[in-house]
């Protein structure tokens, strides 16, 4: 028997996965797979989803946003479960799924997954937690955590921007110390992002990132005059390259140590991260993923996003 554990978050995005469950079952049934669903809820711990995992399970299919995927991966690592995963991007933010080329159409995504071979890709580790897309700290990093779930589900990504505007009065310099073999920084900053993926909030920031190079892409926005920072944010929002830009440090490394001397939180793909100090490292080929397009060779548009094959949404 070929079984697939289907872990879905009914609260992700606009709850669209609820109406698409039959499509998930239909496509897998066509390929000879049996879907075993597990619905994420507050009443039951996610670890219960893995109680029956054995050799009959070929992979774990995750339907949700970046935070849901991270949560599942962290449970798998804690339980020592080492089988491939696949992602259906149905959350408010689906940055990593888009990075690896997953279509938003559920039926097409299932077809892409079932017609692929598992690819070993890197994952990030921050202290004792894992993440697939980005870990961050500084201004705006707790926006997702402070955004009401109902507001998030009602107006989507706009909810993040509304909450971000509310934080503008708190725009202040933050003291941080970063140590790595490639680059060190000891000074003030506004925002720091450590990418395993490429995008945050659908903005292509870590455009040099690759999914299997064993390196993380680090972006530090240094503190300075607000008027000097505005052009930098404009370049970032436009998806323009960030080499040799005043006020910004961009480098790649496999491991870094971070101390912060301010009362700020860390964020892992929209969820609360660990407290300082932080050790962040890249776990090279730390997980297998199905449905991955070749992100090194696939054509990209001016914004740096993958141009998907004809027919994909």
- Distance of alpha carbon 152 from alpha carbon 205, whole angstroms: 23
Domain assignment present for 299: no
For residue 137, give the CATH number of its domain: 2.60.200.40
Query: What pTM value is reported for the model?
Result: 0.85
- Distance of alpha carbon 312 from alpha carbon 253, whole angstroms: 34
Asked, as a colleague might, if the bond just before 277 is cis with ω within 30 of 0, I would say yes
pLDDT in tens, 36-81: 999 999 999 999 999 999 999 999 999 999 999 999 999 999 999 9
Q: Are 188 and 174 in contact (CB under 8 A)?
A: yes
Supply the range of the domain harboring residue 70. Answer: 3-118
Tell me the β-bridge partners of 124. 131, 282
pLDDT in tens, 230-264: 677 677 666 666 666 778 899 999 999 999 988 88
- Distance of alpha carbon 265 from alpha carbon 140, whole angstroms: 10
- Distance of alpha carbon 162 from alpha carbon 299, whole angstroms: 33
Q: Let me know if 131 is exposed, middle or buried by CB neighbors in 10 A (0-12, 13-18, 19+).
A: buried
Final residue in a domain of this structure, among 118, 147, 181:
118
Q: Are 212 and 120 in contact (CB under 8 A)?
A: yes
What are the DSSP calls for 62-96, one per residue? EEE-HHHHHHHHHHHHHHT----EEEEE-SS--HH
Q: What is the pLDDT of residue 243?
A: 66
What are the DSSP calls for 249-284, one per residue? EEEEESEEEEEE-SS--EEETTEE-PPSSEEEEEEE
Domain identity same for 204 and 282: yes
Domain identity same for 90 and 167: no
Q: Are 90 and 17 in contact (CB under 8 A)?
A: yes
Q: What is the pLDDT of residue 297?
A: 44
Domain assignment present for 313: no
Q: How many CA atoms lie within 13 A of 105 on its CB side?
A: 9
For residue 38, give the CATH number of its domain: 3.40.50.10330
What angle do helix axes 17-30 and 106-114 make, rounded to 10 degrees? Answer: 30
Residue ranges of the chain with pLDDT lower than 70?
140-171, 225-230, 233, 236-244, 294-313
Final residue in a domain of this structure, among 118, 149, 164:
118
């Amino acid at each position: 028997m070929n079984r697939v554990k289907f872990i879905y978050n009914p609260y992700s995005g606009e709850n669209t996965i609820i109406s698409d469950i039959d499509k998930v079952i239909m496509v897998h049934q066509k390929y000879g797979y049996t879907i075993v669903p597990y619905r994420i809820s507050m009443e039951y711990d996610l670890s219960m989803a893995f109680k029956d995992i054995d050799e009959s399970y070929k992979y774990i299919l995750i339907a949700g946003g970046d935070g849901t995927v991270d949560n599942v991966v962290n449970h798998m690592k804690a339980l020592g479960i080492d089988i491939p995963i696949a992602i259906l991007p149905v959350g408010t933010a689906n940055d990593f799924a888009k990075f690896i080329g997953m279509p938003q159409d559920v039926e097409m995504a299932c077809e892409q997954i079932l017609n692929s071979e598992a690819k070993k890709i890197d994952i990030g580790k921050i202290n004792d937690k894992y993440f697939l897309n980005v870990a961050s700290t500084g201004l705006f990093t707790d926006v997702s955590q402070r955004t009401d779930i109902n507001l998030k589900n009602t107006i989507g990504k706009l909810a993040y921007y509304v909450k971000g505007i509310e934080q503008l009065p708190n725009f202040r310099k933050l003291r941080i110390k970063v140590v790595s073999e490639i680059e060190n920084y000891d000074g003030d900053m506004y925002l720091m992002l450590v990418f395993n993926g490429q995008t945050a909030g659908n903005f292509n920031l870590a455009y040099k990132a690759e999914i299997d190079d064993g390196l993380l892409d680090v972006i530090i926005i240094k503190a300075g005059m607000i008027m000097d920072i505005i052009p930098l944010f404009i370049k970032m929002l436009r998806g323009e390259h960030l080499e040799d830009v005043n006020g910004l440090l961009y480098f790649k490394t496999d491991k870094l140590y971070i101390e912060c001397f301010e009362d700020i939180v860390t964020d892992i793909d929209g969820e609360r991260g660990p407290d300082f100090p932080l050790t962040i490292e890249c776990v090279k080929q730390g997980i297998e993923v199905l449905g991955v397009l070749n992100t090194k060779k696939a054509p990209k548009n001016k914004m740096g996003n993958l141009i998907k094959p004809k027919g994909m949404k």
